[in-house]
Amino acid sequence: MTAEFPKDLAAHSAKWGGDLELVQGAGGNTSAKAGDRLWIKASGKQLADALRENIFVELPLNAGWAMADGAPAPTDHLAGGLRPSIETSLHAIMPSAVVAHLHMVDAIAYAVRSDAPAALGKALAGLPWTWVPYAKPGAGLAQAVRAAVAGRAVEVVILGNHGVLLCGDSCEAVDRLVGEVRGRLAAPMRQGRLNLARLAEIGERLDLEPARLAHAHLSAAHPVNLRFATAGSLYPDHPVFLGRGARVQAEDAPPDAAAETALHLVPGVGALLARDLPDTAHQMAACLGLVTARIAEDAQITCLTRGQEDELIAWDAEIYRRNLART
């Protein structure tokens, strides 16, 4: 008997994808397994659209492709032209029936800390969880997770400088886990001050666009947030959609023609982005605000290296996602 698509996967995916504090743009992915089949979100598709369009790819669940670089082959001849998520191998190696990989801002605020394992150990005490240091998305990350969970009944995997993996025997079980982990890792946000009227004037002079989403301005609103935001790229989707980190833009300074980022932060005023960027880029800017406002003030953080940024920016799989975001 052919396994049928679990319809509640679409409903829960749309719920999680519609929450900016869990998923931004085309980030994050969900999957379900039944029999010898795996359903996984397609690369470049948005979880928030799960009830409006078909965003899932159905694949045979086997070990032949599970550790392939990026996604299982073939990727060019799938129904509807959908390409499996670059994290397909990560979902395939997890034994749970339902897996949700979310870019939960509360989790990222811990995952960028140099003392993340110790801090998380206190916050997640009693939960079946583990820590995996940063690895490039795709095969490298799947291999690291497989090694970390081998022989263990793990439901929560915190991914260094990335996000969280939540696993359960049903969508309802994973949804409960989302609430549990979110509640344990929740932190108050530093608000600071803004001057959005002044920001519009500066943006006009520099030919930059004020951030479309209010949370993006949090990175510029408080000196601590600004320090974290301009330290470097904190997680993979940032360099993919915004370039390298963010830069401080003085109110009376000319634009920096050599800037390698699309995100410019005016201290105490707000966030400016390059014009005509897709909504995904603006959601990434909002993600940065939500993350930096939550990182403990005295925390030391770890950013992606320039080499790690390079391998993401130039990766064919990420270029594909950028092109989809523009359309």
- Domain boundaries in the chain? 7-184, 196-326
DSSP string, 162-190: TEEEEEESSHHHHHHHHHHHHHHH--PPP
Tens digit of pLDDT for each residue in 5-22? Answer: 888 999 999 999 999 999
91: Cα within 13 Å, side-chain hemisphere? 31
Nearest 10 degrees: Cα torsion 228, 213, 287, 262? -60
Tens digit of pLDDT for each residue in 286-317? Answer: 999 999 999 999 999 999 999 999 999 987 76
123 phi/psi in degrees, rounded to 5: -70, -35
Tens digit of pLDDT for each residue in 243-262? Answer: 999 999 999 998 788 889 99
Going by their DSSP bridges, the two strands 208-210 and 247-248 should be labelled as: unpaired
Report the DSSP beta bridge partners of residue 123: none
Q: In angstroms, rounded to a whole number, what is the distance separating the alpha carbons of residues 230 and 236?
A: 15
Any idea which of 70-84, 271-285, 294-308 has the lowest mean pLDDT? Answer: 70-84
Is residue 312 left, alpha or beta, with left meaning phi > 0 and alpha meaning psi from -120 to 50? alpha
Q: Is the pLDDT score of 235 beyond 90?
A: yes
Q: In the prediction, which pLDDT does 4 show? A: 80
Q: In the prediction, which pLDDT does 39 show? A: 95
Question: Nearest-CA neighbor of 234 among 154, 322, 150, 293?
Answer: 293
Residues 121-141 have a mean pLDDT of: 96
Vertex 15 angle, CA 88 and 43, to 5°: 25
Residues 97-112 have a mean pLDDT of: 98
Q: In the prediction, which pLDDT does 131 show? A: 98
SS3 (DSSP) at 128: coil
**Banded model confidence at residue 74, pLDDT cuts 50, 70, 90:** very low
Question: In the predicted model, what is the mean pLDDT of the chain?
Answer: 91
The secondary element (H helix, E strand) that includes residue 325 is helix 316-326
Residues whose CB falls within 8 Å of the CB of residue 327, separated by 6 or more in sequence, listed in order: none
Q: In the prediction, which pLDDT does 324 show? A: 66
CB 145 within 8 Å of CB 93: yes
The residue count of the chain comes to 327
Question: Nearest-CA neighbor of 195 among 216, 162, 220, 173?
Answer: 220
Q: In the prediction, which pLDDT does 70 show? A: 46
Q: Is the pLDDT score of 82 beyond 80?
A: yes
Q: In the prediction, which pLDDT does 143 show? A: 94
**Domain 7-184, classified CATH 2.60.40.10, yes or no:** no
Q: In angstroms, rounded to a whole number, what is the distance separating the alpha carbons of residues 174 and 157?
A: 13
Q: In angstroms, rounded to a whole number, what is the distance separating the alpha carbons of residues 131 and 183?
A: 18
Report the share of the chain in percent with pLDDT over 90: 81
Tens digit of pLDDT for each residue in 30-48? Answer: 999 998 899 999 999 999 9
Q: Is the pLDDT score of 60 beyond 70?
A: yes
Q: In angstroms, rounded to a whole number, what is the distance separating the alpha carbons of residues 159 and 17?
A: 19
In this structure, the number of other CB atoms found within 10 A of the CB of residue 58 comes to 16
Going by their DSSP bridges, the two strands 129-132 and 208-210 should be labelled as: unpaired
Two tokens, residue 89: 């191998």
